[in-house]
Chains A and B, each alone.
Chain A
Amino acid sequence: MDPLLTFIVILVGMYGLSTSKNIIKSVFSVTIMESGVILLFLNLGNLEGGSIPIITQASEIIADPLPQALMITTIVIGSTVTALALMLCIKVFHHYGTVEWREILRRGGGK
């Protein structure tokens, strides 16, 4: 029941997104969710007794290579999103002096 566990990781990320009042924590929650999705992909693409998706003489059953390839793309996307979000976070901190969602929304007219 591995996929269930990975789905719990996704739900933990969603819980964090819906409760944390701090921008950095929100960024982390998105990262956690992303890790959950990646694990879910790899888990569901795996086969019982399958080896790594590299063709050698011996390989009969292999894990599905497509989800793995897709996940490399997702990892790159995820890391860029995290980097961009953290950079914006630094900038928000420079401008408002805080990284609390409620505080930054309240300040400066809050439009």
Chain B
Amino acid sequence: MLFVPVYIIFIPIFTALVIYLFKNRYINYLALLAQAAITVLLVLYHYTYKGNYGDTLFWFGDWQTIGISLVNDEISESFLFLSVFSWWMVLIYTFEKGKTDHNFLFFLMFLQGVFLGLLQSNDLFNMFVFMELTTIIVTILIAYKKAGDSFRAGIYYLLLNTSGVLMFLIGIILLYNTFGTINVEQIGSLIHLYGEETVIRFSYVLMMGGIAVKSALFPVFTWLPRAHGVAASAISALLSGLVVKGGLYLFIRINGMYAGAAIDYTEFFYWVGAITAVVGVMFALSQKDIKQVLAYHTISQIGIVMMGLSSLHDTAMFYGGFLHIFNHALFKSLLFLGAGIIIKAYKTKKVGEIRGVMRAMPVVSVFMIIGMLSITGAPFFFWFISKSIIKYGIMDSGIKYWILFVVNIGTATSFIKLSQIFFGQKRMTIRLKRLPQRITLMTLAFACVALGNFYIQIGEGFFGLPLQEVTVADWAALFDYALALSIGLAFYKLVIEPDYKPVRYIRNFQMSFETANYLFVVFLVVMTVYFVVL
């Protein structure tokens, strides 16, 4: 059982290579088989080590402290389950009988192995290698359609992320020269010795800079809507739902490593998250392309997660943000996959031109509505729970509370806009009936609903969290939701629908690559001033 981390990294990679080499449509089914094998192994692993995660530490080779090690804890293991689940969904969604593209499967399965490695790695340089490998594979997947805008998005993504990851690398060398090791656990146990020194603070800033680019925080988020907007729908679902969360996962891990240095990051990253959330919603409101809307909402949701995560470990708010990662992965995958079906049927991405989905595709519409209810924070859906936890954490600060409310209204407005596609006359051109895609949507929708209603059991079973105190049938909260919806509706009718000049201006706003990098440098310096100088 100790070797399960290695197996789940290399089974997908091995499968990917075999699929690439044989180029046979029957061999393609091997992907599903490998996926099943990983799932079984993970479940067994979970039951073996449940409760004593200290035993999961595993070194390659016999040399303690010198080689590379893998380790798991509650957080990484829940991420592992989430990733395997997401890959199941994408695999089933893209699997066409006898037609699946083996090239595509190769990249997809390889990415899974690499991502699972990133989640378990206990070595800083190893993390760097996995981050960079993820960047390269994702670039290829973005450019996979080989259209002009996908190449453009691909190169934008590749260069910006590489420069971010290089910052992470400089942070590694500073730490290595201080402690003589690049093992996360060892550094974590030594870091209190030099916690106040400039070199440790500076390395923290550089690492956070790299992570901010990877997880699309405020000044450096511009690659995300491009990349997620142009990729194929299944890839967008995977990227938005999961791969971006890799950055957030590293945020948790690296901050855990720096815990001994007593760096007070709560306030700073709360505000970074808040600005990210507001800016993301602002851009989402102005967009007319259905995938762009969803991509900008990913940014705003990442901001909300960041608001939660910025609070220290083991506080309620931290778990609010943490649980929202899972929640977001579910409903964003659902929305992207559903949007993919609709786009394919209508042959357009413009929200204004898609009408009458409810009549044309009733089943898909129901699932999409479940996703929309989830993202707007309706009661009986999970976002309602995690939002309540975050709200509880910031209750005593007025302005922080209001920011969350504003983001909520923005989200409601934007999904009122999106929900227009359900009404109107039926204008579909192609009839698509593909069972695997329906199954995927159904599973995701079911997961959304289940998570929202059985949250007490799930919270206790997986994370040992007492969620009983969060009540769903709270009249004040219901009123809150209704209020947000009605303000959103009014805002939509009065401001967004007439398409005033500022809205058009935001829609056409383009951030050039050098400006994005400029902002990255500014962000680095602001962090330096905040964490090192002050």
Chain A directly contacts chain B within the complex, with at least one CB pair under 8 Å: yes
* Residue positions of A touching B, CB distance < 8 A: 10, 13-14, 17-21, 23, 26-27, 30, 33-34, 37, 40-41, 44-45, 66-67, 70, 73-74, 77, 80-81, 84-85, 88-89, 91-92, 95-96, 101-102, 104-106, 108, 110-111
Interface residue B292 (Cβ < 8 Å from any Cβ of A)? yes
Among A20, A23, A33, A111, the residue within 8 A (CB) of B289 is: A111
Contacts of B22 in A (CB 8 A): none
8 further contact pairs, Cβ within 8 A, besides A17-B514, A26-B514: A21-B512, A81-B135, A85-B159, A88-B155, A95-B151, A105-B510, A110-B508, A111-B230
Q: Which 6 A-B pairs give the minimum distances between C-beta atoms?
A: A95-B148, A88-B155, A18-B518, A17-B517, A18-B517, A91-B151
Contacts of A66 in B (CB 8 A): 176
Q: Are A88 and B158 in contact (CB under 8 A)?
A: yes
Q: Kindly report which residue of chain A lies nearest to residue B230, judged by CB atoms.
A: A111
Contacts of A18 in B (CB 8 A): 514, 517-518, 520-521
Contacts of B149 in A (CB 8 A): 108, 111
Q: Are B143 and A101 in contact (CB under 8 A)?
A: no
25 A–B contacts from the bound complex (CB under 8 Å): A10-B166, A13-B163, A14-B163, A17-B163, A17-B517, A18-B521, A19-B514, A21-B514, A26-B159, A37-B169, A37-B170, A44-B173, A73-B125, A81-B162, A84-B139, A88-B143, A88-B154, A88-B158, A91-B151, A92-B151, A95-B148, A95-B152, A101-B514, A104-B152, A108-B149
Query: A3 vs B149: C-alpha distance in the bound complex, in angstroms?
Result: 40
- Chain A nearest CB, measured from B503 CB (Å): 16
Contacts A40-B173, A102-B512; A84 near B517 (Cβ below 8 A): no
Q: Are A101 and B512 in contact (CB under 8 A)?
A: yes
Q: Are A108 and B162 in contact (CB under 8 A)?
A: no
Query: A102 vs B514: C-alpha distance in the bound complex, in angstroms?
Result: 9
Q: Are B136 and A80 in contact (CB under 8 A)?
A: yes
Query: A81 vs B155: C-alpha distance in the bound complex, in angstroms?
Result: 10
- Chain A nearest CB, measured from B25 CB (Å): 28
Contacts of B513 in A (CB 8 A): 23, 26, 101
Among A17, A23, A33, A110, the residue within 8 A (CB) of B155 is: A23
Query: A29 vs B229: C-alpha distance in the bound complex, in angstroms?
Result: 27
B286-313 contact mask (Cβ, 8 Å, vs A): 1 or 0: 0001001000000000000000000000
Contacts of A110 in B (CB 8 A): 508, 510
Q: Kindly report which residue of chain A lies nearest to residue B174, judged by CB atoms.
A: A44
Please report which residues of chain B, range 146-197, place their CB below 8 angstroms from some CB of chain A when the two chains form the complex: 146-149, 151-152, 154-155, 158-159, 162-163, 166, 169-170, 173, 176-177
Query: A36 vs B149: C-alpha distance in the bound complex, in angstroms?
Result: 31
Q: Kindly report which residue of chain A lies nearest to residue B513, judged by CB atoms.
A: A101
Among B136, B173, B517, the residue within 8 A (CB) of A14 is: B517
Q: Are B176 and A92 in contact (CB under 8 A)?
A: no
Interface class of chain A by DSSP: helix
Interface hub of A34, A73, A105, A106 (most chain B Cβ within 10 A): A105
Contacts of A108 in B (CB 8 A): 148-149
Number of residues on chain B facing chain A (CB within 8 A): 40
Q: Are B148 and A41 in contact (CB under 8 A)?
A: no
Q: Are A106 and B510 in contact (CB under 8 A)?
A: yes
B126-151 contact mask (Cβ, 8 Å, vs A): 1 or 0: 00010010011001100100111101
Among B146, B159, B289, B520, the residue within 8 A (CB) of A27 is: B159
- Chain B nearest CB, measured from A8 CB (Å): 13
B487-510 contact mask (Cβ, 8 Å, vs A): 1 or 0: 000000000000000000000101
Contacts A10-B170, A40-B173, A110-B510; A77 near B155 (Cβ below 8 A): no
B111-122 contact mask (Cβ, 8 Å, vs A): 1 or 0: 000000000000
- Chain A nearest CB, measured from B513 CB (Å): 5
Q: Are B136 and A105 in contact (CB under 8 A)?
A: no
Query: A41 vs B512: C-alpha distance in the bound complex, in angstroms?
Result: 31
Contacts of A30 in B (CB 8 A): 159, 162-163, 166
Q: Are A89 and B155 in contact (CB under 8 A)?
A: yes
Q: Are A40 and B170 in contact (CB under 8 A)?
A: yes
Contacts A84-B136, A85-B158, A108-B148; A20 near B514 (Cβ below 8 A): yes
- Chain B nearest CB, measured from A1 CB (Å): 15
Contacts of B173 in A (CB 8 A): 37, 40-41, 44, 67
Q: Are A33 and B166 in contact (CB under 8 A)?
A: yes
Contacts of B512 in A (CB 8 A): 21, 101-102, 105
Q: Kindly report which residue of chain B lies nearest to residue A11, judged by CB atoms.
A: B521
Query: A89 vs B169: C-alpha distance in the bound complex, in angstroms?
Result: 25
Query: A106 vs B135: C-alpha distance in the bound complex, in angstroms?
Result: 25
Contacts of A85 in B (CB 8 A): 155, 158-159
Q: Kindly report which residue of chain B lies nearest to residue A14, judged by CB atoms.
A: B521
Q: Kindly report which residue of chain A lies nearest to residue B133, judged by CB atoms.
A: A77
Contacts of A41 in B (CB 8 A): 173
Contacts of A34 in B (CB 8 A): 166
Q: Are A44 and B177 in contact (CB under 8 A)?
A: yes
Query: A30 vs B161: C-alpha distance in the bound complex, in angstroms?
Result: 10
